[in-house]
Amino acid sequence: MKRIFLLGLLIVVAAPLPADEGMWTLDNFPSAVVKEKYGVDLTDTWLETVRSSVARMDSGCSASFVSPNGLILTNHHCALSCISQNSSAKNDLEANGFLAATAEDEVPCQTDRISVLIETEEITRQVAAATAGKDDVKAADTRRRTLKRAVQDCEETSGLKCESVALYQGGQHWLYKYKRYDDVRLVFAPESDIAAFGGDPDNFNFPRWCLDMSMLRVYEGGEPASTPNYLEWREEGLDAGEAMFVAGRPGRTQRLLTVSDLKFLRDTSIPHWLLRYVELRGRYIQFAQTSDEARRIVHAPLQGIENGIKVQRKRLDALHSDALFAQKEQAERALKAAVAADPVLAAEVGSAWSTIERANETYLGFRDDYIFIEGGAAFNGKLFNYARTLARAAAEREKPNAARLKPYTEAALPRRKQLLLADRPVYPELETLQLSFSLDKMREFLGPDSTFVHEILGRKSPEALAAELVAGSRLADAAVRAELWSADWATIRASKDPIMRLALAVDDRARALRKRYEDEVEAPVDRAYEKIAKALFAIHGTSTYPDATFTLRVSYGAHEGWTEKGSDVRPWTTLAEIYPRVTGEAPFRLPASWADAEKSMPGGTKFNYVGTTDIIGGNSGSPAIDRDGRLVGLIFDGNIHSISGSYWFDSELNRTVAVHPEIMIESLRSIYGADHLLEEMGIPER
């Protein structure tokens, strides 16, 4: 197990980084390490190309520009919400795929937004100065207000869209400044049967055969946006063993967490999540079996929940690894010893670890209430989410910007409005299922004698109350939501909509729980991690990478397989190898358009491949890039070992899984007849 890298241990012993680890910020990319290992000299120009051509899908994925006309490449599963929103029983884009022959045929993705990073600015000193000398609670409140003001000032002075970003668990604070595209349209999507071939059984596994790609386009002023910085294709892809790079927005890693926080995840958070969502998955499957239409409308949420369950199970397995956990404990003991040996550090850092442990004990005392009431686990579904957004937006807009809840600041409101007013389908049967399930879980976890449970359910069953609320609400109508969005707080409070009444009824209790969490858990934990970060910087500087934060990162590695149970795994698959796996039944079914693929495309066409790059959820849709800045693949998954990358990295087993450029180009040409897209991307005729 010596190959396992634990960041805390590295910091203490100041050892060199092992192979291919890290999701690096552009300002701190280890160019010298890459040059020494791979002989690749990544220049500032290369990094600038990455910054300007790689985008963030604010719904939770990554993407890249692949033409000068706003054309974007990402995963099919990243565009699935757009595909679903534009589907119907008569025109099922998930099942049948989609190709816009002209710009006029491209359809809007109402809830998607694309962000491109323009520049960053560190504001750590300003935040530290504002919070100096204050106790934990006052420091936390001051920090929140300071960051909100910084974001507001940034947007007013730069003309860009700004976000505050905490790195190294709050050891650094930055402003990230973005250009935003709110007009996003669907250009191409293959059928789900080939995009997600193998379904949940193949998910997080390799070998794979998935055409998990889609194309979107961003618009400005009603016209395709000008995007002169884009990635050009390298059609043949990488050679075996060649260096590769992944640029994208990895969502969240937790490699800097203390042992106490990791134990909390292992013993409480993840098991609790699995208990609820495994049962919800069963209800979704049961619902899907009632009709073809039910199967269609539950497909996207079921796919998402199956992915989440597999991720959480493997994370739990990782946290139950005695050997790995022992190394984490050893690393923490070593860091504590290094702090204790330095009187200055000991005075500054003090009992930070025990502070986090006490905060976790405190949180256990009200966690279920917080998760179900403020976290909304008692009220699943779009309708309650709409209602809470409307109620809180009206209430928060009456406050000064710095005093508002973060999701309702001036910087955040446009996204809230976009998601709220998007005219996307709401299916009453699915809403009723989701709400009745969550009300049932509320009663189970909070207890049938809970005062809150009695206030919500009264004498009704979860099923009866959910059916009554959904049937009586008008919030499924986007026009009704638009009218309420423009209403003042008094009008919102007077609403007779039953789900609005529910959201208003629980809001005082929910806000009180939020305040308790902020004061008793978040405030001391944030201050403790700031102190630990000081120790890390004092001992090792910033030559290590911060945890992922859904901000732009670059990882490096090579196109290599691995050894699984004594057998070498070849690092790519070919088209010919998919046919023996085809059964004719989902999830091993090919769409009708692929019936002649065996004849029309060369069997040796490379399909999917793996590399040693360090990735995590959020990297979906990231481009794989070669040393010359060319597109050599599309990241869509990791192997099963990569899931533990949330907490640590195993360079011998963790692998990135990507769609090969050969299959993307060949299928666009031979299956879908998308010659106009190939021409736009500068790919010559065969």
685 in any annotated domain: no
629 in any annotated domain: yes
What confidence score (pLDDT) does residue 141 get?
97
Alpha-carbon Rg of the chain, whole angstroms? 25
Alpha-carbon dihedral of residues 628, 632, 635, 636, nearest 10 degrees? 170
What confidence score (pLDDT) does residue 3 get?
35
What confidence score (pLDDT) does residue 485 get?
98
Q: Residue 14: is its pLDDT beyond 80?
A: no
* pTM for the predicted model, two decimal places: 0.93
Q: Residue 263: is its pLDDT beyond 90?
A: yes
Quickly state the pLDDT bin for 542 (edges 50, 70, 90).
confident
Check whether residue 374 and residue 501 sit in a common domain. Answer: yes
Tens-digit pLDDT profile for residues 354-378: 999 999 999 999 999 999 999 999 9
Q: Residue 11: is its pLDDT beyond 60?
A: no
| Chosen domain end from 164, 181, 198 | 181
What confidence score (pLDDT) does residue 527 get?
97
Check whether residue 377 and residue 519 sit in a common domain. Answer: yes
Check whether residue 389 and residue 465 sit in a common domain. Answer: yes
Residue 36 exposure: Cα atoms within 13 Å on the Cβ side: 9
Mean pLDDT of 244-248: 98
Separation CA 367–CA 358 (nearest Å): 14
Cis peptide leading into 591, omega within 30 of 0?
Answer: no
Separation CA 318–CA 21 (nearest Å): 18
What confidence score (pLDDT) does residue 13 get?
35
Lowest mean pLDDT among 11-20, 241-250, 256-265: 11-20
Tell me how many domains the chain contains. 4
Check whether residue 622 and residue 669 sit in a common domain. Answer: yes
Check whether residue 289 and residue 428 sit in a common domain. Answer: no
Tens-digit pLDDT profile for residues 428-482: 999 999 999 999 999 999 999 999 999 999 999 999 999 999 999 999 999 999 9
| Chosen domain end from 516, 545, 574 | 545
342 in any annotated domain: no
Q: Name the residue range of residue 498's domain.
A: 351-545
Mean pLDDT of 407-424: 97
Separation CA 130–CA 628 (nearest Å): 44
Separation CA 443–CA 455 (nearest Å): 11
Check whether residue 105 and residue 248 sit in a common domain. Answer: yes
Q: Residue 686: is its pLDDT beyond 80?
A: no
